[in-house]
Amino acid sequence: MSGKGIFTIGELVQKPGVSIRTLRYYDSIDLLKPSDYTEGGHRLYSNEDLTILQNIKSLQFLGLSLKEIKNILQKNTVKGEVILKSLIDQKQLFEAKKLEIINTLSDLNHLIETVKDKEVINIDIFCAMLQKLIFAENTETWFKEHFSQDITDELFNINKSEEIDLDKKWTKVLFEIKHLTLTEAIPSSKESQETVGTLLVLMNETLKGKLDLIEEKLPSTESFKFPNPFTEKEQIFLKEAMKIYQNNCSNNQEIMKN
């Protein structure tokens, strides 16, 4: 402190946590001017200036602009409705932030439960799972636009433990498909066909038994880019393996009919 109740600009910024640049700007717009200057032209602030600065920071917390704050400080009074509106606005803002934090924590807990037992994690699969959570609202909106409300509600009204269990199954089968492609497995091999069978069962479980209905309608709907963890090579392998699987199913059905 330079003197009794007198602060230099450097000393003042340490108290309310504002920068020297901010104080200089406040000075330039006549919001908070220093009470005095040193012989060298350095700004000096009084205890009263410190109080004004604290009031500025307090009113900023309410979301008021510097222009509004300047007007309030000049009058030293403000209509109650102005403060009330600012308080309500800030409350709504922080409630929205609170909800966002709660949702983020829920997503993080979801991912922790999904990957905690994995020794190795494929980054493409993990990012696809992460995108699924991030864009869950967009996905639900897309379904609402193309399918009935009953179907959408059934698909998305799922408890967390069930969703985590499904994601663990998806992580496993997606990893198996990537492994098959990496090891140059033949699409018609027993292992490839068993994996495709598991994939289709999981797709039907995820879609609550409505896989055929949704597949039937998909070609006529506008495209929606769902998270895709597969490379072009993996997509070609999977397409071929699924084609063989479906042909085998059709042949088996014909044999059973005869």
pLDDT in tens, 215-235: 776 655 455 566 788 999 999
- Specify the pLDDT at position 158: 87
- Tell me the pTM: 0.66
Cβ atoms 44, 35 nearer than 8 A = yes
pLDDT in tens, 47-66: 999 999 999 999 999 999 99
CA distance 132 to 136: 6
pLDDT in tens, 76-120: 999 999 999 999 999 999 999 999 999 899 999 999 999 888 888
CA distance 121 to 180: 16
CA distance 195 to 173: 7
- Specify the pLDDT at position 4: 58
- Specify the pLDDT at position 95: 96
- Give me the chain's average pLDDT, please: 88
Residues pairing with 3 in the sheet: 6
Q: How far, in Å, are 8, 67, 144 from residue 148 at the CA level?
A: 68, 51, 6
Residues pairing with 37 in the sheet: 43
pLDDT in tens, 118-160: 888 899 999 998 988 888 888 888 888 888 899 899 988 888 8
CA distance 133 to 113: 14
Q: In the chain, how long is the greatest CA-to-CA distance? A: 108
Both tokens of residue 15?
Answer: 């108290």
pLDDT-based confidence at residue 255 (cuts at 50, 70, 90): low
Q: Tell whether the model's pLDDT for residue 43 goes beyond 60.
A: yes
Q: Tell whether the model's pLDDT for residue 69 goes beyond 60.
A: yes
pLDDT-based confidence at residue 239 (cuts at 50, 70, 90): very high
Residue 187 backbone dihedrals phi, psi, to 5 degrees: -55, -30
* Domains of the chain as residue ranges with CATH: 6-78 (1.10.1660.10), 117-257 (no CATH)
